[in-house]
Amino acid sequence: MTVRKTAEESVLQKAPEHWTFFRQWLRSPLSIAAISPSSQHLARCMLAELPPDARRVIELGGGTGVFTAALLQHGIAPEDLLVLELNPELHRHLAARFPQLQVVCADARELPRIVAQTGFADGRPADAVLSGLGLLSMGRDTQCAILKAAFAVLAPHGRMVQFTYGPTCPVRAEVLEELGLEARRGQVTWRNVPPAAVWVFTRKGEGRAARPPAEG
């Protein structure tokens, strides 16, 4: 209890969103991969992997809104951004912080249904899915369901951008093979806590020429 109390007191001295995130991590450490929100450095690495002409973006696992804010600053219009967050408290936080957005409390596996229900982008496919989900800790079937749902709403040349804290691809090779996808590692940022790597998933044959990994 002493260790937990000390950690809580430390987080309370930071921004409110850090406390919101940390409190949810304490309640469910297996479903929330990190002890603190993602950094601005990681957000820049994630957005660097968006297609150059990306207009319609879906975010999975909005958390406290670090990537959400970066997407808006990047120029994605509020009506062209859909955010899913399964955790009820984080969902309430996001909805209050971004009242101009569609922020839905839902499971990423239900993405096609959510897109249809909300009328996102007037039914046009998304150019990219940005994911903050902890895929690395998920089982094969869950990984497969989430990626299948994501690519069901992506344009033919669309891509899914995911980050991970592990040293290897967060999606199992058999899942990629089953869904006809390929993976490419993007930038690694050591300034994030913990350090994170960005991965890009595309349909086979649709990925652009691989760029050498870089440190952020």
Burial class for 3, CB neighbours closer than 10 Å (0-12, 13-18, 19+): exposed
The structural domain count of the chain equals 1
Per-residue pLDDT of the chain (216 residues; tens, 9 = 90+): 433 333 333 333 445 554 444 344 335 444 444 444 457 889 999 999 999 999 999 999 999 999 999 999 999 999 999 999 999 999 999 999 999 999 999 999 999 999 999 999 999 999 999 999 999 999 999 999 999 999 999 999 999 999 998 889 999 999 999 999 999 999 998 877 778 999 999 999 886 544 444 444
Look at residue 100 and tell me if it is in a domain: yes
pTM of the predicted structure, to 2 decimals: 0.81
Look at residue 210 and tell me if it is in a domain: no
Look at residue 123 and tell me if it is in a domain: yes
Look at residue 62 and tell me if it is in a domain: yes
Look at residue 94 and tell me if it is in a domain: yes
Q: Which domain holds residue 81?
A: 37-203
**Residue 119, SS3 per DSSP:** coil
Cα of 93 vs its chain's centroid, Å: 16
Cα of 159 vs its chain's centroid, Å: 12
106 to 25, 103, 162, 196: CA distances (angstroms): 18, 9, 18, 25
Look at residue 52 and tell me if it is in a domain: yes
**Residue 3, SS3 per DSSP:** helix
Residue 66: which CATH number?
3.40.50.150
Look at residue 5 and tell me if it is in a domain: no
Look at residue 92 and tell me if it is in a domain: yes
In sequence order, the β-bridge partners of residue 162 are: 131, 199
Place of tokens 């219009």: 77
Nearest to 169 by CA among 133, 199, 148: 199
Nearest to 130 by CA among 46, 211, 51: 46
